[in-house]
Amino acid sequence: MSGNWYILYTNPGQEKKVSAYLTKKGYENFCPLNPLDYSDRKKQSGDPLFPRYVFVYMSAAQLLTVRSFPGVLQLVYWLSKPAMVKDEEIKIIREFCSKHRHIELSKSFVDAEEVCQVTRVPYLSAEKLSISPIKSCVKVLLPSLGYTMTAFLEQEELGILPVSHSNLKMVS
């Protein structure tokens, strides 16, 4: 089935239930979670990274049915049309959430034609070229959503990140 990624706007706190309902009905969907660490539990859970949003992959013809789904208030619109999210951005969000904890969202400029990009080189300070665990972060711009995701890295995560610039060296 060909389609696009759309954003469903849910009732407060209903993101996981809407995602489970969509899965039960056979719709590909994604409700990214900001992982919470419980050292005494094997199972990880978390709060939705995008409050009240669930991403769903469907055709334009199926859009009329989503308002009747339990917990869904409406589709998110942009410029009087249902907002579409690029496949690349969904892939980046999935990968980012699987690799990082302590993720924060901040609003950014919306440009649906811009390409997703890492906006800051993590773990390197331009002045000292040293690791600074307090300020170490990775940022990813999601242009069609108008958000920037930021993950703050833990001390143990810093040693395994590759250096992306050949003239820069990581100092421990």
CATH code, domain with 60: 3.30.70.940
95 in the same domain as 32: no
171 in the same domain as 94: yes
Residue 79 pLDDT: 85
Strand residue runs (E) in 31-161: 33-36, 45-48, 53-58, 72-75, 77-78, 81-82, 84-85, 103-107, 117-120, 137-142, 147-152
Residue 36 pLDDT: 67
User: What is the tens place of the pLDDT at every residue in 4-33?
Assistant: 999 999 999 999 999 999 999 999 999 999
What does each C-alpha distance from 84 to 7, 9, 43, 166, 168 come to in angstroms? 7, 13, 32, 37, 38
Domain count, the chain: 2
3 in the same domain as 46: yes
Domain boundary among 37, 55, 85: 85
User: What is the tens place of the pLDDT at every residue in 108-137?
Assistant: 876 556 554 444 444 333 333 333 444 577
Domain boundary among 85, 114, 134: 85
**Is pLDDT at 52 greater than 50 in this prediction?**
yes
54 in the same domain as 93: no
Kindly state the tokens that stand for 16.
Answer: 């996981």
**Is pLDDT at 152 greater than 90 in this prediction?**
no
Closest CA to 116 of 153, 81, 144, 74: 144
115 in the same domain as 131: yes
Domain boundary among 45, 67, 85: 85
Arithmetic mean of pLDDT over the chain:
76
Q: How confident is the model at residue 91 (pLDDT cuts 50, 70, 90)?
A: very high
Q: How confident is the model at residue 38 (pLDDT cuts 50, 70, 90)?
A: low
